[in-house]
């Protein structure tokens, strides 16, 4: 969510994706170059920011459609806010 001191609330959320288990050279969220600082900056300006570090499936699916299904069903749904 955006911070309470933000001058406005932007209706479009920002999603910061990383895949540190797949790319060992990628910065983690809290390292320099990670997304925590970016997320805080945008949040203070009214954006809802969501940080997602994609985890590979336990067994790699055979098709790209199955890989996407893994991410949508198991990872994105757990971190995205839902409207009621």
Residue 80 has pLDDT above 80, yes or no: no
Residue 28 has pLDDT above 70, yes or no: no
Answering whether pTM is above 0.85, one says no
Residue 54 has pLDDT above 70, yes or no: yes
For the ranges 47-51, 67-71, 76-80, the lowest mean pLDDT is seen at: 76-80
Q: 68-84 in b/e burial notation, b at 16+ Cβ within 10 A?
A: eebbeeeebeeeeeeee
Averaged pLDDT score across all residues of the chain:
76
Radius of gyration of the CA atoms of the chain, in A: 15
């Amino acid at each position: 969510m955006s911070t309470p001191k933000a001058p406005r609330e932007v209706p479009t959320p920002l999603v910061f994706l990383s895949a540190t288990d797949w790319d060992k050279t990628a910065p983690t969220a809290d390292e320099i170059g990670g997304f925590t600082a970016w997320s805080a900056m945008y949040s203070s300006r009214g954006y809802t920011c969501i940080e997602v570090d994609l985890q590979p499936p336990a067994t790699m699916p055979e098709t790209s459609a199955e890989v996407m299904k893994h991410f949508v069903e198991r990872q994105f749904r757990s971190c995205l806010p839902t409207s009621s």
